[in-house]
Structure 1
């Protein structure tokens, strides 16, 4: 299944970004692994807990922990070279965002929930890992202040739901959503598109 392979790629890339973020905070190896795993599979964990879906993803598939842990350790070893792959990580992260969103939506629908819940769970699956990473590293989550990110997840979730409701073959729905969401995210990165910011200065 294409989503499974993309998911493995996605958690690997997210684990690398988590490990690099932990490195900027000068964490020890254990801390790096924890941040990497939380970044990679945190969104899915939150989704499963909220939906009461047991066992949660990594408990049912412990190989996910092995993959993300290995990605973290490799990142530590190859950290001097990681700066050369910054653009590659951005592209793969965009693909991972849409993949995670689709997986979240599909799983929620399979559990019998409606479109609103499915769309929310898709976004939670897509963006929560990065939020957990930044909170643990004591930073404002990037999803709240950088290029359009959560917006891409929202659009991808609803596009999938609309196409699914039209009765299209699932593979077509997946590919169309992947292509559209991926393209939107790349455009947001290239043109530095951002959601308008709220800047409040308290007045005496």
Structure 2
């Protein structure tokens, strides 16, 4: 019962974030509703498909769709109040992430999967809705940036399995996991904790397009000029070569030695 209530709170908070993201892209009401639904239940849908867990959560309980769409429409008409409730949204988002991670872990374990698949299920449930939201809104997904988001889902999954392994009651395991995971998320936001970022920049020579075109045209003109020079016919025929003294060495001999004839010696 507790998880069901927290789940409704979580999908409501995610629907609000999805609606606001759609509003930044100037979408209509249908687009806002779609982005809100993808944000709120996209992660759980991907999880159920991967784990072959049917029927899907929102198919089994369609009222969740109505809650999400209602939250999205209300957000459209009350968005001007968003800056006043930002701390509340951050808390609800942290709680929603923790709830999604716990539910993903529980479903994977109930289906007989091991710890690795349970952890993956928690991460997919917690973050894939936001990933699809950002992709639909043409942004780099938040989970791939510096903030601790997917890591919180992983921490929640590991903590849940560890507490369950030591024999704590189910309700205590859920409450402790939710409290610690949500608290770590809020502390990470407050102190700007994040994972190391890999940055690689290849050195490139940037040249304006018009300069690249002019250089290409210059190369083409140079090639044409060399081609015309090579193919230009020489005066006197293709095999004639002129020198200062005459038409080659043969011309020099015949000009300065009139006694020389092709057929013999002196006359």
TM-score > 0.5 by shorter chain: yes
RMSD: 0.9
Q: How far apart, CA to CA, are the structure 1 residues paired with 2:148 and 2:36?
A: 23
- Per the TM alignment, residue 146 of structure 1 is displaced from its structure 2 partner at its CA by 3.8
Gaps of 5+ in 2: 205-267
Describe the SS at the equivalent of 1:147: coil
Instruction: Give CA deviations for 1:34-65 in whole Å, capped at 9, x if unaligned.
Output: 00000000000000000111111100010010
Instruction: Give CA deviations for 1:10-57 in whole Å, capped at 9, x if unaligned.
Output: 000100100000000000110000000000000000000001111111
- Per the TM alignment, residue 83 of structure 1 is displaced from its structure 2 partner at its CA by 1.9
Q: How far apart, CA to CA, are the structure 2 residues paired with 1:7 and 1:178?
A: 12
Which residue is 1:66 aligned to?
A: 66
Q: TM-score, normalised by structure 1?
A: 0.98
Alignment partner of 1:174 is 2:174: yes
- Per the TM alignment, residue 188 of structure 1 is displaced from its structure 2 partner at its CA by 0.1
Which residue is 2:184 aligned to?
A: 184
Instruction: Give CA deviations for 1:56-108 in whole Å, capped at 9, x if unaligned.
Output: 11000100100000001101111111221111101110011001000000011
Which residue is 2:151 aligned to?
A: 151
- Per the TM alignment, residue 166 of structure 1 is displaced from its structure 2 partner at its CA by 1.4
Alignment partner of 1:94 is 2:58: no
Contact (CA 8 Å) 2:101, 2:153: kept in 1 or not? yes
**Within-5 A mapping of 1:1-204:** 1-203=1-203
Which residue is 2:262 aligned to?
A: none
Aligned length: 204
- The answer to which structure, 1 or 2, has the higher relative contact order (CA under 8 A, 6+ apart) is 1
Q: Going by fraction, where is helix more abundant, 1 or 2?
A: 1
Q: TM-score, normalised by structure 2?
A: 0.75
Describe the SS at the equivalent of 1:88: helix
Q: How far apart, CA to CA, are the structure 2 residues paired with 1:87 and 1:199?
A: 31
